[in-house]
Amino acid sequence: MTEREREILHLIRENPMISQEEIAKKIGITRTSVAVHISNIMKKGIILGKGYIINESPYIMVIGGTNVDIQGFSRSELRAHDSNPGYVGVSFGGVGKNIAENVARLDINTKFITVFGNDLYGEKIKDHLTKLDIDVSDSLILENEETSIYLSILDSNGEMNVAISSMEIFKKLKPEYLKARNKKIEGAEIIIVDTNLETETINYITNYNAKTKIMLDTVSTKKSEKVKDIIGRFHTIKPNKIEAELLSGIKINSDSDLDRAGKFFLEAGIKNIFITLGSDGVYYINDKKKGIIKNPKVTPVNVTGGGDAFVAGIAHAEFMGKDIDEAAKFGIGASILTILDENTISDKISVENIENKIKEMKL
């Protein structure tokens, strides 16, 4: 679809009874032009007919955080308690938002529920996501609140040295808000949730596990503690080694320890487990397969979005019915493309580019 078609479709999704005159006023074009665009959308099979009945293709729902990313990059060895030469970048981020954007770039219908402040940054992020055809119409918008901010400092190797997150706004996304959107949430093929949400909200989302697959991004060691008592209610999890140790209670120092941790999660009820091992690769296990895929040697430019791209990659593979080993490879391919890019979300992310990267790296 064209950018204008996406804009019109977003308005129709928000209000299926909207008139062509109202659409024309909102986006500043003539009613005749609106009619032409709607006709083109109908020809593509996205709108089924009069009344703007939208042909809803299968979709992935992401529920999680979005924020303004402010990143400081040091040009040389990072010195504490000193002014470091470098440069500062401002972009839109957040675990949930990054996953949703990567999923959408993999040609999957994507819906995203998050919390925006009613401010300039919130408007800009919404506009950015809408242009990517990500449906954010069910997100919570709070008056007199500021959109979340994430501030990080990266060393000359692109590794994060320290970060500060201001994400109190996500405490306002309560189960009551999601309950009013039950049909939309339970209609997803996959629900992806991150632990920036409050414990009660995550717990509520897991109630959908009888109807759909719920995938968890643990985000951080501290935040992963929120799900320790309900870990078995997720279909898929992607902790790193430290998070896996916390959740399983098993210290991981060897491949046999990885197997023990993996079996712990399987016995808890999880179907697919991916434990990321940093430069050592990814361990995966389900009831049919297990293994470790080593990471190829690459020089990262910015590692910040690598984990989010990995989650989007394994979600795409699950959506397409791929085996767990193929999912791990696809996730690694997506992650490599991302960490080789200066931006947290690489504009090179696509199914074709990931498949080519997998072949190039001989994964």
DSSP letter at 280 equals G
Whole-number Cα distances in Å, 209 to 152, 169, 204, 296, 359? 34, 26, 10, 35, 35
CA atoms in the 13 A half-sphere facing the CB of 69: 22
Tell me how far the alpha carbon of residue 150 is from its chain's centroid.
16
- Token pair 């209000």 in the structure block, residue: 15
* Consecutive 10-residue averages of pLDDT for the chain (363 residues): 78 84 93 90 72 74 92 91 91 93 95 95 93 94 91 87 88 95 92 96 95 94 95 97 97 97 98 95 97 92 92 96 96 96 91 96 91
Q: What is the β-pairing status of strands 160-166 and 149-154? A: antiparallel
- The first and second tokens of residue 292, run together, are 């470790």
- Distance in angstroms (rounded) separating the CA atoms of residues 270 and 138: 28
Nearest to 38, CA basis, from 10, 67, 78, 72? 10
What pLDDT sits at residue 47? 75
Q: Can you spell out the DSSP letters for 92-129?
A: EE-HHHHHHHHHHHTT-EEEEE-EEESSHHHHHHHHHH
What pLDDT sits at residue 53? 65
Q: What is the pLDDT of residues 250-260, one digit of tens each?
A: 999 999 999 99
- Distance in angstroms (rounded) separating the CA atoms of residues 32 and 17: 18
Q: What is the pLDDT of residues 233-284, one digit of tens each?
A: 999 999 999 999 999 999 999 999 999 999 999 999 999 999 999 889 999 9
For residues 174 and 199, is the Cβ–Cβ distance under 8 A? no
Tell me the whole-structure pTM to 2 decimals: 0.79
